[in-house]
Amino acid sequence: MIDKQLLELLVCPENHTPLHEAEPALVERINQAIREGRLKNRAGRNVEHAIQGGLIRQDGTLLYPIIDDIPVMLIEEAIPLEQLS
């Protein structure tokens, strides 16, 4: 779980909109897709390592992964959520 004060400061680096934490069920769906080798990040590379959590952009299209308790706020590392449909 990310610190509430930190979450209030973080915004999407691409469009500067607020972020919210991903629900555990969504994190599990993402990790399942990673295990199956069918998830790519914005750069088009396969996501190879499970995530602990994620921060979702206000419009619900991207998730910034949390790895080792650190939010990875790089646009190219964001995971497009449309892949889970």
Note down pLDDT in tens along the chain; length 85 residues. Answer: 788 888 889 999 999 999 999 999 999 999 999 999 999 999 999 999 999 999 999 999 999 999 999 999 999 999 999 999 7
Closest CA to 10 of 1, 19, 2, 21: 19
Q: What was the pLDDT predicted at 58? A: 96
Position 59: which residue type?
A: D
Q: What was the pLDDT predicted at 82? A: 97
Q: What was the pLDDT predicted at 2? A: 81
Q: What was the pLDDT predicted at 7? A: 85
Q: What was the pLDDT predicted at 85? A: 78
Domain spans of the chain, in order of start: 4-84
